[in-house]
Amino acid sequence: MNKYVYLFGNETADGDGKMKDVLGGKGAGLAEMSRARLPVPPGFTIATAACNLYFENHNSVPPEIHEEMLRALRVLEERMGQRLGDVENPLLVSVRSGAKFSMPGMMDTILNLGLNDQTVKALETKSNNPRFAYDCYRRFIQMYGNVVLGIPKDEFEAIFDGQKKRAKAKLDTGLTAEDLKQVIAGYKKLVEKKTGTPFPQDALEQLVGARDAVFRSWNNPRAIHYRRMNQIPDDIGTAVNVQAMVFGNLGETSATGVGFTRNPATGEKAFYGEFLPNAQGEDVVAGIRTPLPISELEKWNLGVYNQLREITSMLEKHYRDVQDFEFTVQEGKLYMLQTRNGKRTGPAAVRIAVDMVEENLISKEEAVLRVEPQQLDQLLHPVLDPKAKKSLRQLAIGLPASPGAAVGRIVFTADHAVEMAKQKEAVVLVRKETVPDDIHGMEVAKGILTSRGGMTSHAAVVCRGMGTPCVAGAEAFNVDEHKRVVSVTAGGQNIVLKEGDWISLDGSTGEVFEGQAATQEPDPNSGILATFMGWADQFRGKFGVRANADIPRDAQVARKFGAEGIGLCRTEHMFFAEDRIPHMQAMILARDEKTRRKALAKLLPMQRRDFTGLFKAMDGFPVVIRTLDPPLHEFLPKREELMVDIAVLPYADIKKKRELVAKYERFGAEVKTLKTVLPDLLKRVEELHEFNPMLGHRGCRLGITYPEITEMQARAIFEAAVEVAKKGVKVIPEVMIPLVGGAKELQNQKKIVVEVAKEVLEKAGMPDLKYLVGTMIEIPRAAITAACVAEEAEFFSFGTNDLTQTTLGISRDDYTSFRKDYEDRKIWTSDPFAVLDQEGVGSLIKMAVEAGHRTRPDLEVGICGEHGGEPSSVQFCYRVGMDYVSCSPYRVPIARLAAAQAAISADKTEAMRTA
């Protein structure tokens, strides 16, 4: 029989720490801590599989699982010497979600369950604290009413605030037990009005209601959104943890808190966290009251502090990773409520991995596997320029909750953040505190600033997870979300900032500045990151990482990030520069070869200069240069625009005519000639007009129609190579022909390249300079006929942007309009233009790599589409036997790490096979 309910506590447990799939992260941690004989309030975990069965069974838990839960409840009652619903000695429990992967604050939790009109009296007697007992009860009705019965929170809050007004209480704590009884009466009336039935008094009915609501919360919109963002599968479900309550709000000797064994923002080895005396857990996590730093716990109760430090360092050694823990102190006694591997920022992940190797806690191999490649992104992005910091007015310093610089315009709501981000505005979301419903706005914001909450508040935790800079708990700010203003006193002056004003945050120091600060590039080759990347490179071995770079400046950045060559230089980008586009346009407008060659001759020295810079930057590393690819009309004015300008011309006054001359000057327009130049231009634009330019006259097709273009580009490449090689730089040119569908097209273009190379190299006295001619594989036909293509090609580079477009038959520019429908219906689990479709496009790649190698064993194979910097796609490329990946310069370290991780897992698989 399948087991769905697992007991823990009393120094034993049915499960253990390895069973995260079954018990969820929280359940597994509780089981493991119980086994380690730590003080854990006893309870049981209902397995994640029950969540799926709940949904399959029309939103109800199958009877056999319900029975199993009742049996576990009996054991729990025996262990506690209490019974659920007992009027004298009632068992009170918390009911919490807990999936395999931590999803902070996304699902629901209910505390103090088991309270009703009778049991609250027992709690009153036992605690000898009526205020405490009625506060617990009103909190429970509020949470249950909201989470289980679906009554909006603010309706409860209105009743609570009304009572505060009547009692003239400023703070919640100003309400007496009698006031709270009034609140409870109001709450119960509200529940009856909203649901048609009284608030459930039966404790078992409460438990069933809470359990089912936690299961349901797996599919609430914010949990779904969070899973999408973090690529957590939808079908793994959440577990439900039912645990005996311990109370951190039982007076001044009680407290509740959370912490980390190391700093999760920087990785520094320092005991880290915060707590609140006389409070319940949710008060800390929700960021409603600003908690005290954990160092204060030492003063508050030295014994508890020492015990907590001892337990948590033992847990860190046991799990060999940073622990994120929750605890409660009830009348001076410490209880552990949770431990799990802590989420951390990219900088912290790297530092912790390196430190733990140095502490002999983990191996270098483990260290390399510990950091998610994508997390490196946070180390590779700009920080606030120290000079800019000095020149701007500092408004306040909050908590450095998530590192990095954020510069943007202030917005006060998540929806507005999304709206502004759609208009390509950089925004900083400013809130009193964030709540899980803000997740969509937090995702698009450059940074988050909150005036309340601590280092473990919702904003802090979520931002660290997403790698978004965050300053939290900056209490100097007075945020008025309704009026959409934030005010602060700085330097004795009251400053009011409105929506749309610029603000700059430093998430590493907590500083907040007025205005738009400049930012500074990070240095990937310094300190801990360099050590870490050095280890990754050892494991990566010969598998190369190159960069896509079109101009010398990008090539230099790429080298700094560790690129071992250029995998794609899109030469057309060079033609868009201000000084070149006129020659490019002249070349396109030419109606005969002679005129075209004249324009090309002007472009030749410019291209040569660009290539010279690239070769110099890549001394000793290969440089793949692609011949012209985009359809020519991209270089000309838009057809519709031209038609409008022609239509207005007869009515244009001199001012308008001058404007038109300025616009069309490069096509020979003067005030007098506008009438002839514009229609002529339109004629050529119409000749070039295509219904589907992406599948039209582009790529090698251009070079086939206009061989002189390929010829000029080849000349520029080899003349640059010769010039640089003569200065002692080692040049390795690789000429790449785009959009080839088969061997014949390549043969045609290769002939031109080889002839030019021969002429230029011989003339320079360097006939042996080594170079390659190869092709992009970005059309399915090229992949299918790869064996023949490889007879001509000395290298393949998979252009997976086009290969995805052509294989899926989906335009890469238009797919976003229906992407959401596909993802909602789970037809795609991720964007195929970002994450390689391994099943479809990947099969073509695998086939082409194998066929290519059969024809030409030393064929060099790489990828230069966007997927070349995406970790799961990089790992795929490694597995199918490519030689390198190529990606944008900033993603080079990410690709290096992903490749190292692929190499480590490949080694492990190999070891298993041969063992």
**Active site positions, annotated:** 458, 864
CB of 570 to Mg ion, least distance (A): 9
Rounded CA gap, 26 and 30, in Å? Answer: 6
Q: Are 799 and 778 in contact (CB under 8 A)?
A: yes
Residue ranges in 488-517 that form contacts with ligand PEP under rule CB under 6 A = none
Which helix (H) or strand (E) segment is 326 a member of? Answer: strand 323-330
Using CB under 5 A as the binding rule, whether residue 870 contacts Mg ion is answered as: no
Using CB under 5 A as the binding rule, whether residue 802 contacts Mg ion is answered as: yes
CB of 845 to ligand PEP, least distance (A): 12
CB of 850 to Mg ion, least distance (A): 22
Which helix (H) or strand (E) segment is 305 a member of? Answer: helix 302-319
Number of Cα atoms under 13 Å in the Cβ half of residue 125: 8
Q: Which does 865 bind (CB under 5 to 8 A by kind): Mg ion, ligand PEP, none?
A: ligand PEP
Using CB under 6 A as the binding rule, whether residue 570 contacts ligand PEP is answered as: yes
Classified as helix, coil or strand, 271 is: coil
Using CB under 5 A as the binding rule, whether residue 799 contacts Mg ion is answered as: yes
Rounded CA gap, 859 and 882, in Å? Answer: 10
CB of 776 to ligand PEP, least distance (A): 7
CA separation, residue 428 to residues 414, 475, 491, 508 (Å): 10, 17, 23, 16
CB of 873 to ligand PEP, least distance (A): 12
Using CB under 6 A, pick the residue from 90, 277, 373, 799 that binds ligand PEP. 799
Report the residue number, 492 or 809, with the smaller CB distance to Mg ion. 809
Report the residue number, 347 or 865, with the smaller CB distance to Mg ion. 865
Report the residue number, 802 or 860, with the smaller CB distance to ligand PEP. 802
CB of 864 to Mg ion, least distance (A): 8
Report the residue number, 29 or 799, with the smaller CB distance to ligand PEP. 799
Q: By CB under 6 A, which span of 129-137, 141-149, 292-300, 797-805 interacts with ligand PEP?
A: 797-805
Using CB under 6 A as the binding rule, whether residue 567 contacts ligand PEP is answered as: no
Closest by Cα among 778, 478, 193 to 486: 478
Using CB under 5 A as the binding rule, whether residue 868 contacts Mg ion is answered as: no
Rounded CA gap, 675 and 114, in Å? Answer: 86
Q: Which residues have a Cβ under 8 Å from the Cβ of 186 and sit 6 or more positions away?
A: 159, 162, 163
Amino acid 259 reads G
How many residues at the interface with Mg ion, by CB under 5 A? Answer: 3
Interaction mask 751-790, Mg ion, x per CB under 5 A: ---------------------------x------------
Q: By CB under 6 A, which span of 20-28, 183-191, 719-727, 793-801 interacts with ligand PEP?
A: 793-801
CA separation, residue 856 to residues 535, 768, 786, 824, 834 (Å): 33, 21, 10, 44, 30
Q: Are 798 and 862 in contact (CB under 8 A)?
A: yes
CB of 800 to ligand PEP, least distance (A): 5
CB of 802 to ligand PEP, least distance (A): 3
Q: Are 477 and 487 in contact (CB under 8 A)?
A: yes
Report the residue number, 467 or 865, with the smaller CB distance to ligand PEP. 865
Q: Are 629 and 864 in contact (CB under 8 A)?
A: no
Q: By CB under 5 A, which span of 267-275, 358-366, 636-644, 795-803 interacts with Mg ion?
A: 795-803
Q: Which does 800 bind (CB under 5 to 8 A by kind): Mg ion, ligand PEP, none?
A: ligand PEP
Q: By CB under 6 A, which span of 88-96, 203-211, 752-760, 795-803 interacts with ligand PEP?
A: 795-803
- CA-based radius of gyration for the chain: 33
Classified as helix, coil or strand, 17 is: coil
Report the residue number, 17 or 699, with the smaller CB distance to Mg ion. 699
How many residues at the interface with ligand PEP, by CB under 6 A? Answer: 10
CB of 548 to ligand PEP, least distance (A): 7
Rounded CA gap, 718 and 758, in Å? Answer: 9
Q: Which residues have a Cβ under 8 Å from the Cβ of 670 and sit 6 or more positions away?
A: 661
Q: Which residue is nearest to Mg ion (CB)?
A: 802
Rounded CA gap, 775 and 798, in Å? Answer: 9
Rounded CA gap, 717 and 709, in Å? Answer: 12
CB of 807 to Mg ion, least distance (A): 13
Q: Hey, which residues does 797 pair with through a beta bridge?
A: 776, 862
| Beta-carbon count within 10 A of 559 CB | 20
Using CB under 6 A, pick the residue from 102, 206, 800, 807 that binds ligand PEP. 800
Q: Are 105 and 461 in contact (CB under 8 A)?
A: yes
Q: Are 412 and 499 in contact (CB under 8 A)?
A: yes
Using CB under 5 A as the binding rule, whether residue 631 contacts Mg ion is answered as: no
Q: Which does 864 bind (CB under 5 to 8 A by kind): ligand PEP, Mg ion, none?
A: ligand PEP
| Beta-carbon count within 10 A of 12 CB | 12
Q: By CB under 6 A, which span of 246-254, 299-307, 655-663, 796-804 interacts with ligand PEP?
A: 796-804
Structure tokens of 528? 């801990």
Phi-psi region of 46 (alpha: psi -120 to 50; beta: other; left: phi over 0): beta
Using CB under 6 A, pick the residue from 201, 220, 478, 801 that binds ligand PEP. 801
Per this entry, what is the length of the chain?
915
Rounded CA gap, 227 and 577, in Å? Answer: 42
Residue ranges in 616-655 that form contacts with ligand PEP under rule CB under 6 A = 629
Rounded CA gap, 198 and 191, in Å? Answer: 7
Q: By CB under 6 A, which span of 3-11, 363-371, 536-544, 794-802 interacts with ligand PEP?
A: 794-802
CB of 422 to Mg ion, least distance (A): 27
| Beta-carbon count within 10 A of 799 CB | 28
CB of 691 to ligand PEP, least distance (A): 19
Interaction mask 405-444, Mg ion, x per CB under 5 A: ----------------------------------------
Q: Which does 570 bind (CB under 5 to 8 A by kind): ligand PEP, Mg ion, none?
A: ligand PEP
CA 574 to chain centre: 32
Amino acid 556 reads Q
Residue ranges in 856-915 that form contacts with ligand PEP under rule CB under 6 A = 864-865
Q: By CB under 6 A, which span of 425-433, 664-672, 800-808, 896-904 interacts with ligand PEP?
A: 800-808
Q: By CB under 5 A, which span of 662-670, 793-801, 823-831, 890-898 interacts with Mg ion?
A: 793-801
Using CB under 6 A, pick the residue from 124, 711, 723, 778 that binds ligand PEP. 778
Report the residue number, 207 or 628, with the smaller CB distance to Mg ion. 628
Rounded CA gap, 478 and 485, in Å? Answer: 8
Report the residue number, 695 or 766, with the smaller CB distance to Mg ion. 695
Q: Which does 893 bind (CB under 5 to 8 A by kind): Mg ion, ligand PEP, none?
A: none
CB of 699 to Mg ion, least distance (A): 7
Rounded CA gap, 463 and 469, in Å? Answer: 7
Q: Are 459 and 401 in contact (CB under 8 A)?
A: yes
Are β-strands 622-626 and 292-293 bridged in parallel, bridged antiparallel, or unpaired? unpaired
Which helix (H) or strand (E) segment is 486 a member of? Answer: strand 485-490
Using CB under 6 A, pick the residue from 564, 802, 837, 860 that binds ligand PEP. 802
Report the residue number, 734 or 778, with the smaller CB distance to Mg ion. 778
Q: By CB under 6 A, which span of 600-608, 798-806, 839-847, 877-885 interacts with ligand PEP?
A: 798-806
Closest by Cα among 602, 547, 612, 541 to 577: 602
Residues that bind ligand PEP (CB under 6 A): 568, 570, 629, 778, 799-802, 864-865
Residues that bind Mg ion (CB under 5 A): 778, 799, 802
